[in-house]
Each structure stands twice: as C-alpha cells, then as structure tokens.
C-alpha cells in the first residue's frame, strides 16, 4: 500500500489544518492519534485514542493504540473526536435562498405529484450550504420534501452523504413524509380528522391497488398511479414514514397508523411527545425534535416543555434533533449542536445528546450498519473538534467523510478573508482581493 | 421580526408554517424577513389628541405648549417589585464596563448597585446570595424584540391580522408598538428566565416607517404601562431593502424598488421638516395657531428634532451607506442599523458616522439580502472601532443572547482578534443600553446604576449555563431554585405543559 507519509499536525494551533492535510488517496491508512474519542457507544471517552482508518472505514479505536506502519498520522493533540454529525431533518441540496423560488425545490404545489413527489432529482451538490454544513461538522443528512400537490403527503425524502462528490445522494426514496396538525389541516380539508382519514384511505388504496394494464378510464379511488406506487413501496419495503405531528392527539394517531399498517413511524416536531413517551418507546417510534422549543409556537404546542428531550430519552425513545426555522439548513451544523447543548442544559445526558446527532438518526433512517459510531467497520466519518462539539462556538478542525479529509472552504470563508480587518489600509477595493 | 422562524417548527418547510402557505407579507414577516414585516391590522385607532397633552411628562414647560413630538401621552406606571437589599458574593463578575473580577461581590441597596469588588463585607441585614463558582453579569438588554407584539402562540388570525406591524401603508410612523403588546405573551417569561431584563419592542419591517418602538422592563405585569421604562427616549423603526419593496411592490403599490424606498424616506422627511418649522414658528410666537397635529409627522419631526432615536432594519452595506446620506441630508442621526449582515463591509464608514450595528452571530441565506452574512461581522466591526451589539429578533435566540455574543467572539478570535469575555459581554449589556439612551442607568454593574443583575450557574458564554437568579431594580424577579419566583403568563396557567405525562 502506498501511503502518504505525514508528520503530526498541531491541530490545536492550526485551524487551517484541513487545507494542508492532503486528501487521503483511496486505500490509504489513516491514523488519528492522541484523540479524545467519543464513540457513541459509551458515555466515557477513549482518551489518548488512536483511530485507525483503512479503506475509508474505521479499523480500530484504541487507547494509546499503535500506529500501523506507513499510515498517515494526524495528531489530534487531545482534541475531541466524534463521528460526523447527521442532520435528521433538512432540505440540504434543495434550497439556496428561501426568498428566491427559482433556487428552492423542496415542495411542489400543483400537478400530479403527491406522495410520489421525490426530491432526488433536484439535489445540488454545488449549493453553498453543503460546504458550510460540512465545515460545521455535518457529514450526513436527511433531506425531506416540505409539501406536495396532495396534502397531507409531502413526498419522498433522500439520505445524503456530504462528501465532495457531485451527487450527494446516498439513498434516494429513503422514506415518506406527511404533515399533520392544526394549521396544516386548516389549509387542507379543514379538519385534522380528514387528514388522518385521507392518510388511511391512501394506504388502503395502495394495498388494494391492482394495475389494470390500461391507461385512462374511471377508477373508484382518490390516488393516482404515481402516488399509489410510492405508497406501495413504503408498505412493501417498510420505509420510514416521517410524520410531522405536534399535539398529543396527532402523535397518538401517528403511532396508531404505524401499528395498523405495519409502518415504521418517526415523529417530527413532537412538541407533546413527552406525554406519550412510554407508548412511543413501546412501539419503537423515534422522535426528531427541536430541543430549543420552549414556547407554544401554535395551539398545537400548548404542552411544550424544555425537558421534552430528557423525558423522552429517559423513557427509552430514540431521539434525534433538527433545527426548524431560519437555521434549518443554512446553519444546520451549529444549530443542531447548540440545540443538543440546550437539551443537556435541560437534563439530557451529554452522550445521549451526541447520539441524537449521530447514532440515533442513523438508526432511525436505517444507516446504522455503516454510519453513526466510532466502531470497527463503520464509515470513517470523523470530526476533530476545537472544543466541546455541543458548544456552538466550537468548530471542526478537520472533517473526514469515509476516510477522506474534506476541504473546509466555504463562501463565508472567502468573504471573511476578503474583508479581514488587516486589509483596512488597502487602497484597492475588496473586489481585487 | 422573526418570532416565527425560530419559534415555528417550519415543519413543512420555509414559506410554510406547519404545512400552510403563508401570505407573502406574513411570510416575509416570520420566515424570510426575520425582520419585521407583518400582517395587516384592520382597524386603525382614531386617536383624538388635544393640541396640548394634559400632563407634559418629559419636557420642561415652555411659555407656550411644548412641542408635541417627544411627549408621551401614555406615561408608564412601572414600580419595582418588592425587594430586599442583597449582596451577591464570591462570583466571577463581568461588569459590562470591560472588567472581569474574580471572587467578587456586588452589593445592591434600594434597587441600585452601591458597591462592587473583591473584598466587600456584607452589611448587617443584607441578604447574601452565595455565588461562589458562579458568574454575574449585568441584566441582558435586547434591543430588537417582538415580545408581545408577535405573541405566542401564533394563531391563524395572525396570518392577516398580526399585531406586529400595520402593513396597510409604507409610512405608518404614527403607530406605536406599545399599543400592540399582549402582555401575557409567554415569551416575556422565558426571557426573564434567561436573564433578559430590558427589551425594546419594535414594530415589524414591512414599512419604510414602521412606527415607534417601546422600551420595557422585562417584568411580569398585567398592563404594558406597568412595564414601560420611564424616561427611555422614544424610537422609530424604519426599514430598507427587500421587505418594503416586496411587500408593497407585490401588491402593485409603492414602493417596488430600492430607489422607491429612498424616495419614500425623502418625501416624508421633507414634509416633516416643514411640520417642524411650523411648530417652531408657533413656539417663537411667529404664528398664532399651532399646526394641526399629525401623528406620523410627530414621529418624523421628533427624529429631525433629535428626540426620537432611529433604528433601521437594513441588511446590505450599499443601502446602509445611502441611508447615512439621507440622514445627513435631513440632519438627523441613525442610531442603529438592525440585522446589518453586511455592516462588516463598511466598518470604517459606520465608525465615522457613529451609527451602531445590531447583529446576529450567524444567520444567513434565508433571503437574498442575507447571502453575504459572515460570522465575523460583530468582531470585525468591533475591531474597526465601530459600535456593535447583538440582538435577537427572536424569542428563541433571545434566550441565549450571551451565547450569540460568544459565537461572534469565537469567530473573531479565530481570525486573531483577541476578544475577551469581559469585552464581548458589553455587546449584550452596555452597548445596547447606551444605544437605547439608558447608558447612565443600566448596562453595567457600577455604583449608582440600576440593580439589574444576573447570577449565572456558570460561564454565561457556555450553552450549558442557565440564569439562576435575575434581579430587576434590586428585586429578585426569577429564581431557578424557587418555584414561587418563576413567573408564568396567564396563557400557561392550567395547561398540559405544567401537567404530567400519561
């Protein structure tokens, strides 16, 4: 194996380090030494850990472990190393500037696409949000549609891998999304009861559907062929069903739907999930929530509590975090870390908060066989942090996806260098920098 | 404004609240604008005002009726809550004035700071708060909130009738945010629990002239008058850029362009100039009759007269520079640009003009004029000697304003700017206090200042730290360890959030 010889890099003092770590060639062995590794499995760090990466996968995480001969060595100098983070709910790859519709693709409002609306074809790997997310520690994301022409269905989500490739998509059609709740109902049929009836009818029709082989002609069903085929795939492959639900009554309906149709339900939002914690745990329904939510955003959220995450975790519910609002995508990396820190401030154990950003979303979205923990055989998505990753002021010093060091350049970095105060006396405009 | 974005799970995505497409104008209010546009308010109160208010509250009497612009016809009724003289001891103190004192004490008597230092002895009869291992800062001041005028929970009626802005005309300089405030907004309570002791509540940013803001003590009260900060100078909210031109342009109305925005400012100030001249002529006795009162022109003349502080929602550097020119043309000062995501591009110009910037740590990209935001914005302005502070515009991040300062500080320090915590804390205490015109009363822990003070569970720049005790004018208004001192709004009374899981 031809390996790059590398000297230890003083990470703590060289923030630009990733820029001068050569991208490991495929097949190279990488050893990150002197790491404070949080594997995701244990709440205890592996101190002075050597993390050995072979062929893009983690070979070992060992306290004071030996460096394989010829490995490229990066000295983490005691810095915390975790798995790359996963944004459990984003529209990465689908949005640029929300106010410009021509740059946003997460929703469709007319035409035949309901449950069948599939975001995979719009993915933009050159979006300025992708390198920003990565530079903030995110290496995986679930990118979900936000609305279709057939509410309450939003369409099919994709799992992304934020490496430097032109595609982004690790798995298309990863799951189906549905939006329920008072305000969505108001816009739709007028009652949330109708939402649940429409959802149930859709799955019933999908179950009973038999292709006729003919085109056209009346049929006694609500759904078109495209939507039915999407729903049949969800039923047949047991794809996760992400259901936005906030009020206890809707969360209970979502759980019941999962039971009745054999679906794997993941609650998104989940403001009042703490009231249903035991049921969610018993049914294996995960919850993706926003830990900073401590105000009743709507009348669906009157039961909001700052310790929602802590209560759910204590009950045994699999938790992941997202950051709905302004930061959902543009600052996903800092926002979910800050949210996780806020969850810790409100009673969630630190390691569980880290898992909610890594191993747990991996489990919910069926990626845990290859991503989410620092363990042998897992993809080497690694972040070396400047400090505690749950402190939003911390930043990654280096980010690896499947063993490859990622560039940490962003559009914001170019701007901040252009306007560095050290240029203040430069008589030439910034356009020349 | 943006109570929305952070608050609403945009579960169904941006441009939607929970799956519902928002009307354009509200969308810009709560999702894109982050800044203050709003839904319409149907009824315009007809206010009958006598030429001379019965009790001129803030200006000394003159031989004739006082100029009406700066008078507050609705004076506040705030009284400090019950208090005992208190000394906080053994803390790490960031005093807001630039000092860090370790193992220090702060003595509060009769609602004022009377002493601060490492070797204070507690006078007899004073309640002692042992703050060893904990940190103390001045009360947090948030200069840009919509607490109460965009209250929680968001309701379907707010789609077209939100109280955050009067979006029926690009110039609503005559409306006052204090008349929109729902005092039972639970967001006030969360802010208290987060150490926020003074807030400015502003109207939304749909309009060129959105109306007057109001400065409140962040204490629970059943009327807005009982929250008003007596003597705080009045303020005007203006807006440039996308919000006004889209909100009205989309309706086929004026303005629909940035040049239209600027024309709108100039036309209004020309009129106000004449109005002011007419009043001054009357004051001098050159005219027998006072001009006819006009509430819009009252506010704008107050700006020209120097009585009303000007806060401008403005993202782009080139637009800020134009606004500075408009201010120069009409002889007034812009107090602060809010949001100001491109302020770093004109740091020198802002230093020279003396205009402050109120910024976020890292928000970007939700709209076109926010595309060039960088996390070093505050630090670069600070390094250039320009006035800068953090603001929230969000009831959610407003609960972690010190963390906002911390993120901005860290970004600057990664660029080698060497900003210390005792300096950065001023971005959420001294600087916004001074910018509100209250620098002699709040913002630092110095003898003679109001005893607005927070005892934090640890380093306030950490995400894990919570406010333990919060004092306003020496009264303990929040105590994390005493359930009887944790205020909740009427909205929250009897709700499931206070109940048990099933």
Cβ contact A326–B21 (<8 Å) = no
- Number of structural domains found in chain A: 2
Looking at the complex, report in whole angstroms how far the Cα of residue A184 sits from the nearest Cα belonging to chain B: 5
Say if B96 falls within a structural domain. Answer: no
The DSSP call for residue A166 is S
pLDDT tens readout for residues A401-416? 999 999 999 999 999 9
> Are A360 and A386 in a shared domain?
no
**What residues of chain B, 347 to 376, have a C-beta less than 8 Å from chain A?**
347-348, 362-368, 370-376
Q: Residue B182: which pLDDT band, with cuts at 50, 70 and 90?
A: very high
Please give the residue of chain A at the shortest CA–CA distance from B370: A97
Q: What ipTM was reported for this prediction?
A: 0.93
Q: What is the pLDDT of residue A188?
A: 79
The whole-number average pLDDT for the span A421-426 is 92
- Number of structural domains found in chain B: 1
pLDDT tens readout for residues A215-249? 655 566 778 889 999 999 999 988 999 999 999 99
What is the distance of C-alpha A284 from the center of its chain?
19
Say if A427 falls within a structural domain. Answer: no
Nearest residue to A72 (alpha-carbon basis) of A20, A16, A109: A20
Q: What is the pLDDT of residue B53?
A: 38
Which CATH number fits the domain that encloses residue B269? Answer: 3.20.20.140
The whole-number average pLDDT for the span A285-310 is 96
Q: What is the pLDDT of residue A210?
A: 82
Name residues whose C-beta falls within 8 Å of residue B311's C-beta, 6 or more positions apart in sequence: B143, B144, B200, B202, B213, B235, B236, B237, B238, B335, B336, B338, B358
**B354: which 2 tokens?**
């003396």
Say if B397 falls within a structural domain. Answer: yes
> Are A113 and A79 in a shared domain?
no
**Cβ-Cβ contacts under 8 Å, B403 against chain A:** 338, 392-393
> Are A171 and A72 in a shared domain?
no
Q: Which H/E stretch holds residue A243?
A: strand A240-245
The whole-number average pLDDT for the span B243-255 is 96
Say if A424 falls within a structural domain. Answer: no
pLDDT at B43 over 90: no
**Cβ-Cβ contacts under 8 Å, B13 against chain A:** 91, 106-107, 145-147, 328
Characterize the bridge pairing of strands B112-117 and A138-143: unpaired
Q: What is the pLDDT of residue A180?
A: 96
Q: Residue A286: which pLDDT band, with cuts at 50, 70 and 90?
A: very high
Whether B17 contacts chain A with CB within 8 A = yes
**Cβ-Cβ contacts under 8 Å, B410 against chain A:** 393-395
Q: What is the pLDDT of residue A28?
A: 84
Say if B52 falls within a structural domain. Answer: yes
* H-helix segments, B39-87: none
What is the distance of C-alpha B334 from the center of its chain?
15
> Domain containing A314: what range?
85-364
pLDDT at B485 over 90: yes
Domain end residue (candidates: A300, A330, A364): A364
CA dist., res. B122 & res. B264, Å (int): 59
Say if B18 falls within a structural domain. Answer: yes
For chain B, the residue count is 502
The DSSP call for residue B166 is -
pLDDT at B64 over 70: no
pLDDT tens readout for residues A167-198? 899 999 999 999 999 888 888 778 999 999 99
Say if A124 falls within a structural domain. Answer: yes
Per-residue CA distances from A428 to A413, A432, B318 (Å): 20, 7, 17
Q: What is the pLDDT of residue A183?
A: 87
pLDDT at A124 over 70: yes
> Are A113 and A70 in a shared domain?
no
Lowest-pLDDT range, A397-406, A421-430, B330-339? A421-430
The predicted model scores a pTM of 0.92
Please give the residue of chain B at the shortest CA–CA distance from A99: B367
Say if A256 falls within a structural domain. Answer: yes
> Are A344 and A386 in a shared domain?
no
> Are A231 and A334 in a shared domain?
yes
> Domain containing B421: what range?
3-81+140-491
Cβ contact B501–A278 (<8 Å) = yes
**Mean of all residue pLDDT scores within chain B:** 88
Please give the residue of chain B at the shortest CA–CA distance from A412: B374
**Cβ-Cβ contacts under 8 Å, B374 against chain A:** 412, 415-416, 419
pLDDT at A3 over 90: no
**What residues of chain B, 161 to 190, have a C-beta less than 8 Å from chain A?**
186-187, 190
């Amino acid at each position: 194996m031809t390996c790059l010889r590398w000297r230890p890099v003083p990470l703590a003092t060289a923030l630009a380090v990733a820029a001068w770590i050569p991208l490991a060639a495929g097949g190279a062995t990488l050893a990150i030494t002197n790491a404070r590794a949080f594997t995701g499995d244990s709440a205890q760090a592996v101190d002075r850990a050597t993390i050995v990466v072979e062929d893009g996968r983690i070979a070992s995480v060992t306290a004071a472990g030996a460096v394989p001969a010829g490995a490229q060595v990066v000295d983490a100098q005691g810095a915390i190393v975790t798995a790359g983070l996963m944004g459990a709910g984003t529209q990465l790859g689908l949005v640029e500037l929300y106010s410009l519709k021509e740059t946003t693709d997460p929703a469709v409002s007319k035409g035949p696409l309901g449950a069948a609306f599939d975001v995979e074809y719009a993915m933009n790997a050159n979006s300025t949000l992708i390198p920003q997310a990565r530079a903030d520690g995110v290496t995986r994301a679930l990118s979900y549609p936000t609305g279709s022409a057939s509410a309450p269905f939003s369409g099919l989500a994709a799992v992304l891998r934020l490496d430097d490739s032109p595609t982004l998509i690790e798995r298309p059609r990863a799951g189906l999304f549905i939006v329920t709740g008072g305000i969505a109902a108001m816009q739709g049929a007028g009652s949330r009861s109708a939402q649940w009836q429409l959802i149930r009818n859709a799955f019933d029709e999908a179950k009973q559907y038999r292709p006729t082989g003919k085109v056209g002609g009346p049929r006694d069903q609500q759904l078109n062929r495209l939507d039915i085929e999407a729903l049949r795939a969800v039923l047949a492959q047991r794809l996760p069903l992400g259901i936005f639900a906030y009020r206890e009554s809707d969360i209970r309906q979502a759980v019941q739907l999962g039971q009745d149709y054999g679906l794997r339900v993941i609650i998104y939002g989940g403001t009042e999930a703490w009231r249903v914690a035991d049921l969610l745990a018993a049914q294996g329904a995960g919850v993706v929530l926003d830990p900073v939510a401590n105000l009743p955003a709507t009348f669906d959220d009157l039961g909001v509590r700052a310790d929602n995450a802590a209560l759910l975790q204590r009950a045994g519910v699999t938790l992941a975090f997202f950051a709905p609002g302004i930061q959902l995508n543009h600052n996903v990396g800092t926002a979910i870390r800050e949210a996780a820190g806020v969850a810790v401030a409100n009673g969630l154990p630190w390691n569980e908060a880290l898992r909610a950003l890594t191993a747990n979303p991996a489990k919910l979205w069926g990626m845990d066989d290859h991503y989410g923990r620092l363990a042998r055989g897992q993809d080497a998505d690694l972040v070396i942090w400047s400090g505690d990753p749950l402190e939003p002021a911390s930043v990654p010093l280096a980010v690896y996806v499947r063993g490859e060091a990622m560039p940490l350049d962003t559009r914001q970095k170019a701007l901040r260098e252009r306007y560095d105060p050290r240029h203040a006396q430069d008589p030439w405009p910034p356009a020349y920098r | 404004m943006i109570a929305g974005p952070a608050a609403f799970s945009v579960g169904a995505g941006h441009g939607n609240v929970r799956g519902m497409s928002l009307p354009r104008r509200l969308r810009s209010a709560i999702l894109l604008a982050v800044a203050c546009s709003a839904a319409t308010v149907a009824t315009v109160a007809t206010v009958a005002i006598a030429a001379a208010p019965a009790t001129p509250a803030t200006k000394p009497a003159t031989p004739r009726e006082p100029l009406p612009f700066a008078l507050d016809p609705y004076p506040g009724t705030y009284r400090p809550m019950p208090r005992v003289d208190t000394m906080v001891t053994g803390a790490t103190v960031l005093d807001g004035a630039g000092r860090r004192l370790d193992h220090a004490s702060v003595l509060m008597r009769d609602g004022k700071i009377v002493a601060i230092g490492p070797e204070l002895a507690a006078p007899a009869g004073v309640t002692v708060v042992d703050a060893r291992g904990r940190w103390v800062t001045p009360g947090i001041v948030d200069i840009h909130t919509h607490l109460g005028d965009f209250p929680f929970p968001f309701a379907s009626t707010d789609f077209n009738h939100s109280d955050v802005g009067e979006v029926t005309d690009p110039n609503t300089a005559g409306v006052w945010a204090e008349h929109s405030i729902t005092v039972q907004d639970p967001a006030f309570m969360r802010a208290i629990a987060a150490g926020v002791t003074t807030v400015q509540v502003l109207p939304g940013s749909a309009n060129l002239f959105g109306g007057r803001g109001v400065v409140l003590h962040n204490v629970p009260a059943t009327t807005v008058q009982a929250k008003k900060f007596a003597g705080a100078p009045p303020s005007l909210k203006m807006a440039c850029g996308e919000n006004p031109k889209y909100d009205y342009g989309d309706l086929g109305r004026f303005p629909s362009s940035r040049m239209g925005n600027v024309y709108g400012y100039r036309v209004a100030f020309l009129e106000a100039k004449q109005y002011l001249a007419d009043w001054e002529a009357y004051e001098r006795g050159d005219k027998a009759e006072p001009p006819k009162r006009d509430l819009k022109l009252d506010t704008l003349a107050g700006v020209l007269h120097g009585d009303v502080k000007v806060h401008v929602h403005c993202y782009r550097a080139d637009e800020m520079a134009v606004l500075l020119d408009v201010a120069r043309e009409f002889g007034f000062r812009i107090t602060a640009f809010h949001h100001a995501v491109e302020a770093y591009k004109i740091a020198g110009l802002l230093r020279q003009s003396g205009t402050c910037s109120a910024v976020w740590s890292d928000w970007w990209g939700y709209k076109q004029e926010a595309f060039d935001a960088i996390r070093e914005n505050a630090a670069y302005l600070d390094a250039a000697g320009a006035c800068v502070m953090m603001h929230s515009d969000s009831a959610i991040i407003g609960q972690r304003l010190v963390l906002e300062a911390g993120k901005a500080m860290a970004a600057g320090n990664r660029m080698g700017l060497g900003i210390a915590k005792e300096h950065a804390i001023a971005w959420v205490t001294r600087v916004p206090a001074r910018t509100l015109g209250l620098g002699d009363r709040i913002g630092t822990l110095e003898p003679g200042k109001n005893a607005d003070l927070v005892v934090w569970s640890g380093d306030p720049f950490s995400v894990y730290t919570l406010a333990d005790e919060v004092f306003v004018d020496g009264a303990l208004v929040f105590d994390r360890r005493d359930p009887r001192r944790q205020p909740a709004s009427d909205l929250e009374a009897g709700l499931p959030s206070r109940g048990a899981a099933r």
